[in-house]
Structure 1
Amino acid sequence: MLENPVWAALSGPQACFAEASGDAARYRSDVAPWCAVADPADPSAWADLATLTDQAALTAPALRPPAGWQPVTVIPGVQMVGHTMTGVHDPSAVRLTETDVPEMLDLVSRAKPGPFGKRTVELGNYLGIRHEGRLVAMAGERFRLPGWTEVSAVCTDPDFRGQGFGARLTMAVAAGILEHGDLPFLHVAAENAAAIRLYERLGFQTGHEVVFAAYRRVD
């Protein structure tokens, strides 16, 4: 399941956010850019994906698209899991909702944690820290699959980095995930050694290698 988290989410707990065709699915474009196929080695699943989009972003341990799909970006990554962590609530963290989306998008544009759309906030619980009313850090839940929920969009305004906001929010989001009966996991770029060390200190363990890849149809 963790080997193909987007498929597990879109064919399971987050099916309400999916556009699906056979053995392929994608989040609605205003929710998230991610797509998935049931079996990345199955050409027929990629043919199903082609009926949904001609530009696809996927993540899995290995992706082997058939002829007709050209890689645009391939980034090595690591999936990390929180089998034994406990999480810690943060009294300074505030719940973010749809009314906060303009501020969240502005923070994302400056902190660049990865893809975040105007409806991403609907995927789960998002928490933020404010300084003098200004949103300066946030983190939340993205992929939700049976028994697991992903911590995502962990980011801090460049002017406020080094104060531990990201770590605090990661632990607070993890605490919420554990309370509703799931285990937390997350993804990080393999080259981001500092982030990997931080997440290890917070209680995450390195799982398997993944790739974050974007492809486009060329025929």
Structure 2
Amino acid sequence: MTSGDAAVLDDPVGESLRGRHEALGRRIGRAATFLPDVATFSAVPVDPDAADWADLARLLGRGGFADMFGCPASPPPDWEPVFVLEGRQMIWPGGDRPGRARAAIDSGVVELGAADVPEMLDLAARTRPGPFWSRTHELGTYLGIRHDGRLVAMAGERLRPPGWAEISAVCTAPEARGRGHAALLVNTLATRILSRGERPFLHVAETNTAAVALYERLGFETRTHVTFRGFRVP
């Protein structure tokens, strides 16, 4: 993998909204954002000017929330800061995962869809893996594990810059932890992504040391450290 292959990961939100996820977003000029029931992520160019921030404000509306993800640019001073979270971007460095897909099928991994959204929203609310809304599942494939008919773990695909697919919403209900569900789901998604000729990547908060350790055991490597920031439009 060359450094050029990974350059799109410097702006995964913008790259997704310009490409694979264009139909799930809105755009004015050089500013873009996802539909509000899909995701709250927004994007401006790496060198935004006052017009770009004004366009994003028009998209989001007065008092709207702008989740700038890993965007290093700062909005105008009258935009109210909402949160700052340090994290890292991790990538699968190369190679494939033979035999993982078959093992996952035998282990009861199921594909989730629109009918599963109420359970997915409930699980996300209880485990807080990150932003998850009523149409987030439309961003890509979401997989789950059920126990006695109840959804106890899930993970799915979120941002899709060219050649890459982000693994996200990795979560397990408290009563089902310690059984390897997260590792199984991440491995299964990685297998599917690699089989399409794409590479998996993910984001994780620095404070979530258990998740960082898990992803490192699964073979992911840290590409860069990022700062996630949210702002309120004045």
- TM-score bracket, normalised by the shorter chain, equals over 0.9
Gaps of 5+ in 1: none
CA offset at residue 70 of structure 1? 2.0
Matched AA of 1:167: A
Aligned to 2:5: none
Aligned to 2:160: 144
CA offset at residue 85 of structure 1? 5.0
Aligned to 2:57: 50
TM-score (norm 1): 0.95
Q: Which moved more, 1:63-72 or 1:106-115?
A: 63-72
Aligned to 2:195: 179
The answer on 1:69 being equivalent to 2:79 is yes
CA offset at residue 48 of structure 1? 1.6
By percentage of residues, which structure has more helix? 2
Q: How does 1:84-95 map to 2 (within 5 A)?
A: 84=94, 86-87=96-97, 88-89=100-101, 90-91=104-105, 92-95=108-111
Change (3 A) 1:159 1:63: farther
Aligned to 2:151: 135
The answer on 1:191 being equivalent to 2:207 is yes
Is this contact kept in 2: 1:61–1:209, CA < 8 A?
no
The answer on 1:107 being equivalent to 2:123 is yes
CA distance in 2, matches of 1:15, 1:203: 31
By percentage of residues, which structure has more strand? 1
Q: Deviations over 1:21-58 (max 9, x none)?
A: 11111110111111111226543322221111132011
Where 1:168 maps in the other structure, the secondary structure is helix
CA offset at residue 100 of structure 1? 0.7
Aligned to 2:136: 120
Matched AA of 2:59: L
Aligned to 1:2: 9
Q: Which moved more, 1:15-24 or 1:37-46?
A: 37-46
Q: Deviations over 1:68-121 (max 9, x none)?
A: 212110101100011225342211210101111111111111111111111111
Gaps of 5+ in 2: 1-7
Q: How many residues align?
A: 218
Q: Deviations over 1:175-194 (max 9, x none)?
A: 11111111000000012122
Matched AA of 1:77: G
TM-score (norm 2): 0.89
Is this contact kept in 2: 1:35–1:56, CA < 8 A?
yes
Q: Which moved more, 1:2-11 or 1:32-41?
A: 32-41
Change (3 A) 1:40 1:118: farther
CA distance in 2, matches of 1:156, 1:42: 42
Where 2:185 maps in the other structure, the secondary structure is helix
Matched AA of 1:23: R
Q: Percent identity?
A: 49
